[in-house]
Chains A and B, each alone.
Chain A
Amino acid sequence: MENQVAWQESLLPIAGVQLRLRRAGKGPPLLVLHRDTGTPDQLPAYALLARHFDVLLPEHPGYGQSERPGWMRSVRDLAVTYRWLLGALGLSRAALLGLGYGGWVAAEMASMAPGDPAQAMLVGPMGIKPPQGEILDQALLSHIDYARAGFHDPKAFEAVYGAEPSTDQLVEWDICREMNFRLAWKPYMHSLTLPHLLGGLRSPTLVAWGAEDRVVPAGTAEAWRQAMPQAAVEILDGCGHCAEMEKPAELVRLVATFARVA
């Protein structure tokens, strides 16, 4: 099928855990960092990305089928682990595409090696405290309500997860949530130091945001712009937090254009 990605799967021993990596496509390497709700195996956006990039889609340690590192305490730890992964693969200069929570991971990675990523592309990233409003607290919401809040159009949610997500899906979300708590409980889903460490970024940087984001207010883009004055900011109309699931064609066009132009 055109929309199905033929992933090559491997388990890589990184930082003492078995990390699950899926890889597919042709083009420059692109590390895709998934959300705090994990990632489905297949998404139209992944199929579109694989046309332009050598897509690397790991599952964060402790999420999905990647082993949980009991010692891991912060999103910065997660970022170091991914720097280690890219180094081990000889792809330290891979472009980064971070989705929501994964955008925070990507930003931490870029802050550690400010010239390394071919491009750093952050989509509705967590990681910086919104100047107005708050990052939606999943601890107070059911797994389904939280996942639904990521979409502006309920139909887009149902297209990915179905109107009634399976119990297996709920279990997977719960495993993700437990790891989110382990890494980002307090301060919740943001870093107090990250904004001060992004000023040295030399990689071309894109911040894309769904105009209707109910998880991380779109106004937070301004805080990112202040932290990274050279970043390009793009707003996606009629789109919630999960842009790659709600507006896959638009987002991939944006990403591919930015990566090529840059």
Chain B
Amino acid sequence: MHIMYFTEQPMSAYPADKGLEFGATALMFPNTHFDPAEGSRLYNEFIEQYRLAEAVGFDGIMLNEHHNAPFCMQAKANVFASILAAITERVKIVILGNPLPLSENPVRIAEELAMIDMISKGRLVSGFVRGGGQEQLATGANPAYNRERFQEAHDLIVRTWTQPGPFRFEGNHYHQRVVNPWALPLQKPHPRIWIPGVISKETVGWAARHRYPYIALNTTVEQTNAIWKLYDSTAEEVGFRSGPEYHGYLKQVHVAETDEKAIENARQFTWMQGEFTGLAHPVWSTPSGYSSPEQRRGFVEFSTGRGTSPRRRPTFEEQIRNNMIIAGRPETVIAKLREVMEQTRPGIMSLWANDGFMTQQDSLTCIRLLGQEVLPALRETAKALDLKSPFEAETPVSLQFSTDLQPRAVAAE
């Protein structure tokens, strides 16, 4: 079992009433409400959290990236990955992920990641994502070509890492006269690639067809198991046997000295828990062409207030009841996490431990309690349930670099 620490790096120090008044805290919510002095304080607090997470025994630190919104302060995951490469010694640096379609030059991303891998002495796990809908608008990336750009940029990055240069790349969206960067990853054939996502079937299938572990982001137990079913059957089609080492799960988990205090703090998980990305605007979060055509009707109904969000989230109490949010003193959390692990059998777990206005002191206490009490129990459970990480199972990094494939025989007509 690989266990990671995650914080979305919330920019909690903004006037929340202004967000409510504006009706959205994304894309167009004016950055005059951003205070760089508070930003400076918070960035440095997150660094302190990451240092502690390594010290108390986490296996990895998960990073992500968003734009134009207070719910996530990372505008470039590779910046924090670079910092971690230098200030940590043992943890995996797990970027989930770089939003590829937002980039006009994927070779630059390949170079940055190669540098991070070398500086960290081979500790990089390089996830890739499509980026949220409003991310496309914030960066001018065409939402109608989002998936095409994602796939093409991915192909180019993997080739950049593995094919000796110089070579030329002429795609539909990316055109590189000379690909020959003098920065290549330390890990061979290339750093592991994990694909995080919610419930997009296309993305789950794509990850499985590449033999990349899929990290289900805060989905329900039922959704998570439905994802594994699709992943595993796709894996069988392309010729490998899936299992826990391909299944990752991000959970919101907060620990405090008492159940009461933990529950009170965990309410902060609803701080930005509106539409996918906090108090989002339905039109901005799903620009035309970004989602698959079968979701078109659902999203246009939602955007005019005629339907509920396809990404709707239940109330806090409901989320506590169904283990969407796990909060309590260590014994409470251990029991609940064990239940979730039995139900979903992941080989990779990411613990999203704080959000919103949780104080730095409470965040650090949570990390300490997780390390001292929860992680050892989780490792025992993982051992009993035979939940191995990709590192423990020594899986190949991708389908392309697999030597053990047995594609399912096509049934006789």
Residues in A lying within 8 Å of B, measured CB to CB: 139-144, 167, 170-171, 173-175, 177-182, 185-186
CA distance A143 to B283 in the complex (A): 9
Q: Does B297 contact A (CB under 8 A)?
A: yes
Residue of A nearest to B28 (CB): A140
Within 8 Å by CB of B300, from A139, A174, A179, A182, lies: A174
Binds A, one of B15-23, B212-220, B301-309, B388-396: B301-309
CB 8 Å contact bits of B21-54 with A (1 = contact, 0 = none): 0000001100000000000000000000000000
Q: Does B140 contact A (CB under 8 A)?
A: yes
Within 8 Å by CB of B288, from A144, A167, A178, A186, lies: A178
Q: Say yes or no: B137 contacts A170, CB within 8 Å.
A: no
Q: Does B145 contact A (CB under 8 A)?
A: yes
CA distance A243 to B364 in the complex (A): 62
Q: For A142, what are the chain B residues with a Cβ–Cβ distance below 8 Å?
A: 282-283, 303-304
Q: Say yes or no: A171 contacts B304, CB within 8 Å.
A: no
CB 8 Å contact bits of B283-307 with A (1 = contact, 0 = none): 1100111000000110111011010
Within 8 Å by CB of B137, from A140, A167, A174, A175, lies: A140
11 A-B pairs with CB atoms under 8 Å apart are: A139-B287, A142-B282, A143-B304, A144-B304, A167-B306, A170-B300, A170-B303, A174-B299, A177-B289, A178-B288, A186-B140
With contacts A141-B283, A178-B288, A178-B289 taken as known, whether A167 is within 8 angstroms of B143 at the C-beta atoms is no
Q: Say yes or no: A182 contacts B289, CB within 8 Å.
A: yes
| Known A139-B287, A170-B304; 15 more pairs at CB < 8 Å | A139-B284, A140-B137, A140-B283, A142-B282, A143-B300, A143-B304, A170-B303, A175-B288, A175-B296, A177-B288, A177-B289, A180-B288, A181-B287, A182-B142, A186-B142
Residue of B nearest to A137 (CB): B137
CA distance A84 to B123 in the complex (A): 57
Q: Say yes or no: B300 contacts A171, CB within 8 Å.
A: yes
Residues in B lying within 8 Å of A, measured CB to CB: 27-28, 137, 140, 142-145, 282-284, 287-289, 296-297, 299-301, 303-304, 306
CA distance A59 to B137 in the complex (A): 27
A interface majority secondary structure: helix
CA distance A177 to B286 in the complex (A): 12
- Nearest Cβ distance between residue B282 and chain A, in whole angstroms? 8
- Nearest Cβ distance between residue A64 and chain B, in whole angstroms? 14
CA distance A82 to B283 in the complex (A): 32
Residue of A nearest to B140 (CB): A186
CA distance A139 to B303 in the complex (A): 12
Q: Say yes or no: B284 contacts A140, CB within 8 Å.
A: yes
Residue of B nearest to A179 (CB): B144
- Nearest Cβ distance between residue B265 and chain A, in whole angstroms? 36
- Nearest Cβ distance between residue A133 and chain B, in whole angstroms? 18
Q: For A175, what are the chain B residues with a Cβ–Cβ distance below 8 Å?
A: 288, 296
Q: Say yes or no: B143 contacts A170, CB within 8 Å.
A: no
CA distance A180 to B27 in the complex (A): 21
Q: For B27, what are the chain A residues with a Cβ–Cβ distance below 8 Å?
A: 140
Q: Say yes or no: B288 contacts A174, CB within 8 Å.
A: yes
Within 8 Å by CB of A181, from B288, B296, B300, B306, lies: B288
Q: For B306, what are the chain A residues with a Cβ–Cβ distance below 8 Å?
A: 167
Q: Say yes or no: B145 contacts A182, CB within 8 Å.
A: yes
With contacts A167-B297, A167-B300 taken as known, whether A181 is within 8 angstroms of B283 at the C-beta atoms is no
CA distance A181 to B146 in the complex (A): 11
Q: Say yes or no: A139 contacts B137, CB within 8 Å.
A: yes
- Nearest Cβ distance between residue A181 and chain B, in whole angstroms? 4
- Nearest Cβ distance between residue B284 and chain A, in whole angstroms? 7
Residue of A nearest to B137 (CB): A139
CA distance A167 to B300 in the complex (A): 7
CA distance A179 to B288 in the complex (A): 9
Q: Say yes or no: A185 contacts B142, CB within 8 Å.
A: yes
With contacts A140-B284, A142-B283, A174-B288 taken as known, whether A181 is within 8 angstroms of B304 at the C-beta atoms is no
Within 8 Å by CB of B289, from A141, A167, A170, A181, lies: A181
Q: 10 closest A-B pairs (Cβ-Cβ)? A: A177-B288, A178-B289, A170-B300, A181-B144, A178-B288, A185-B142, A182-B144, A142-B283, A174-B288, A174-B300
CA distance A182 to B142 in the complex (A): 7
Within 8 Å by CB of B296, from A144, A174, A180, A185, lies: A174
Q: For A167, what are the chain B residues with a Cβ–Cβ distance below 8 Å?
A: 297, 300-301, 306
- Nearest Cβ distance between residue A250 and chain B, in whole angstroms? 31
CA distance A175 to B293 in the complex (A): 9
- Nearest Cβ distance between residue B187 and chain A, in whole angstroms? 36
